[in-house]
Every structure is written in structure tokens, then in C-alpha cells.
Amino acid sequence: MPSDTAPCDVAIIGDNFMLPEKFATAIEAACGAKVRLRSMTLPWPDAPMEHGYATPGMAGLKEYQGDPDEICAFVGNAEVLVTQLAPLSATMLDRLPALKLVAVSRGGPVNIDMAAARARGVRVVNTPGRNASAVAEFAIGAILAETRMIRAGHEALRAGNWRGDLYRADRTGRELSEMTVGVIGYGQIGTRVVRLLKAFGCRILVADPYVQLSATDRADGITHVQLEDLLRQSDVITLHARVTAETTGFIGREQFAAMQPGTIFVNTARGPMVDYDALYAALISGHLGGAMLETFAIEPVPADWPLLQLPNVTITPHIAGASVKTITIAAEGAAEEVRRHLNGEPPLNPC
């Protein structure tokens, strides 16, 4: 811990989303003269993230950005590092003996070697739920884009085609108030999605084996079901689970076959949970009515990816969590962890 007279040396490594100045403003507001700040900016999202399997010495790290030598030189003797994407491998941590706290402004510190950090006494904290509201709102927009033919109408007009046929009874969209929506995953995002869906008057099913519905949800008619029942009964299915060994690839050929004809599938969670070859087959066969995909196992997706060519798919480049509010929440969450560290208080979100 720093003394009462010496400010704590805090290194901030931001990017073009989590701006360093946003971190700095929040930390200064929380900590005042107790900190001495310095900042650098990574080029993400204008340049892609990296994955450790392709780089010697960085095995196990995912979704990071930054040259290890440049990062270590910048952090130097700092006691605290605040970042979203900067990597910290075991060998990098060996070069940063003064480091005591790493505040990662994201839901999971996948850019940090957690075992190495624990072994070296470096505490890692994160900001879970920073983008939960943003993703939940985006998911509702994605559902509406598919159920009310917004994407289909937009693409037709852009191509110079007035789709008057979308007003035909056998082609037009359906209102959520007459549909059953299945929500897979009932964490911070899933619960918000359910809260927003209630306003539409739809029947809502939730599948998550590790949580229970709140009393309010039960009183509002939300039903907790097994995954198999949700797949069979839902008109729209929206995915909000976390990626684990159990959920990797758990929405595949069998699950798509279990969905009723015309189902709309929405994934604003993570790509590795879905077998996209099986999804393509279900879409091209006409079994599924459509899909909205926001995240992918490989990002950026290849330009020749077959799903990009299907007319019944809406695809966005992993932007559901991107909002001004997300930046503010993440910066303030990281700043509060720095304040608690300086004051000898326990962290709110230890990893």
C-alpha cells in the first residue's frame, strides 16, 4: 500500500472504446490526490483483438491487444493497472514486481493469466454486468427486427424493391403479444431481457438450471422450464448463457431440430455456444424462420462465411454491449476498486 504522502502509481491502458480519459476522470473523482496517473491507448476496435494460442508465451489468454514488451515498459513500477484489453501473461507478471492490483473493465478477465496472478499475489478485479443493460436492449431490438420484418423490409428497399407483399397475411410479421419467447440463461442480461419483454405481453419461458425465478417473475407469469421444453414451445429463442465447458456447442443440430417450424433464433451472447453449421442447415432448409447473430466463434467472420449470404439472417459485428453507458459503468466500477485498494477495503468483484 502507498504511504499517506506518496501517491499510488496507476497505469491506465485504454482503447478507442474504453477511453483512457474516462478511466482517469473516474479514478480522480474517486481517489483524488492519492493517485498519480499515466495513460496509453490501444487501437481497438479499429484493430482486432488477439488470442494467445497464436503467440509464444501468451497461451491461455484471449481477447487481448497489445505488445507484451510495450505493455511491460509502460506499466513499469506501477502498483495498479487499469485496463480493458492489455494482456498479462506469466512472463509479463514476472517483469512487473511492483504490481498489486489489476482492474479489468470487462465481465471476464480473459486477457489475464489468473493462475499466474494468484501465484504472484496480484489481485485481479473486474466489472461484471457493465454492459448488461446495453445487451438486453439490443436483444429486444434484434427480436423486433426479425419478428416485424424490419430487416427484410430494409434490405429490399436498399435494393430498390418495394416489398408490398410483406403486408400479405401469409408473410407479414407477428406481434410479441401473441408469441412465446424463450430466454436461455437467467443472469444479469437474461433477467433484464425478461423485464423488458414483460411490457410486450408475451408468454415468457426461462431455462437456466442454476437459478430460480424471483417472486415477482413468478407472479408475472414467467415460467421456469427445462431447455428441451423451451426449445419445443418457443416462437422466439434468445440466448444469454455464459460460455462454459457445459455450454460450448450446446445449441446444435438436435436442439435446432427440436424447435418448432418458423422459430426465430437470436444470439447476442457468445458464438462458441452455437453450432453454426447446424444453424445454417436449419435456416437453409426453411425449418427456422430466421436468425439474428451478434457474436461468433471466430471474429471477424470470414468474408465468404455461408451465413452471410442467407436472406433470413441479420448479422451485426459484436456491438450489443457497446454504449456510452457501458463505458461510464465500467470506468466507475474500476475506479471504485482502485479506491477500495488504496483504503485497505476488500474488493467488490475479485476474480
DSSP string, 91-131: HHHHT-TT--EEEE-SSS-TTB-HHHHHHTT-EEEE-TTTT
**Cβ proximity of 10 and 30 under 8 Å:** no
| Residue 100: CB atoms within 10 Å | 18
Active-site option among 123, 270, 339, 341: 270
Distance CA 326, CA 330 (A): 6
Spatial separation of the C-alpha atoms in residues 9 and 40, rounded to whole Å: 14
> Active site residue: 21, 175, 228, 299, which one?
299
Q: Is the Cβ–Cβ distance between 124 and 112 less than 8 Å?
A: yes
In the chain, count of helices (H) and strands (E)?
12, 12
Number of other CB atoms surrounding residue 209 within 10 Å: 9
User: What cell was used for 79?
Assistant: 502498483
Is 118 annotated in the active site? no
Quick check: 84 and 104 in contact, CB under 8 A? Answer: yes
Name which of 113, 65, 106 is nearest 299 in CA terms.
65
C-alpha cell at 64: 487481448
Unique residue bearing C-alpha cell 504490481 = 99
Asked about 270 being catalytic, the answer comes back as yes
* 3-state secondary structure (DSSP) of residue 272: helix
Q: Of residues 51, 240, 318, 339, which has the active-site annotation?
A: 318
Q: Is 299 a catalytic residue?
A: yes
**Which contacts of 75-80 are long-range, i.e. CB under 8 A and separated by 24 or more positions?**
75/11, 75/13, 75/99, 76/11, 77/9, 78/9, 78/10, 78/11, 78/38, 79/2, 79/8, 79/9, 79/10, 80/8, 80/9, 80/10, 80/11, 80/35, 80/338, 80/341
Tell me the CA end-to-end span of the chain in Å, nearest whole number: 20
Nearest to 252 by CA among 281, 229, 223: 281
Residues identified as active-site: 270, 299, 318
